[in-house]
Amino acid sequence: MTCGGCVNNVKQALLKVTDVTEADVQLHPQTAVVTMNKLITVIELQKQLSKAGQYTIKEVA
């Protein structure tokens, strides 16, 4: 992500995933905290992000 538009794109893409209730996306540092009703795999989240652009996501424990 390089700008506020990217942050918004990522947030909106994540919110389109079924059972995602909240997505807090930050540019500096590049992070996204996702709140969900059930476990959603990183693969499922990445699939939706790929529709929004060339964004990637990785799980941090």
Angle (CA) 16-7-46 rounded to 5° is 50
The CATH number of residue 8's host domain is 3.30.70.100
61 inside domain? no
Q: Where are the beta strands (DSSP E) in 1-61?
A: 20-26, 31-36
**Has residue 57 been placed in a domain?**
no
Q: What is the total count of domains within the chain?
A: 1
Evaluate if residue 58 carries a pLDDT over 90: no
Q: Does residue 58 sit within a domain?
A: no
Tens of pLDDT, residues 5-57 = 999 999 999 999 999 999 999 999 999 999 999 999 999 999 999 999 999 98
Give pLDDT, residue 60.
83
Torsion, CA 5, CA 8, CA 13, CA 16, rounded to 10:
-150
Residue 59: inside a domain: no
Question: Containing domain of residue 32, as a range?
Answer: 4-52
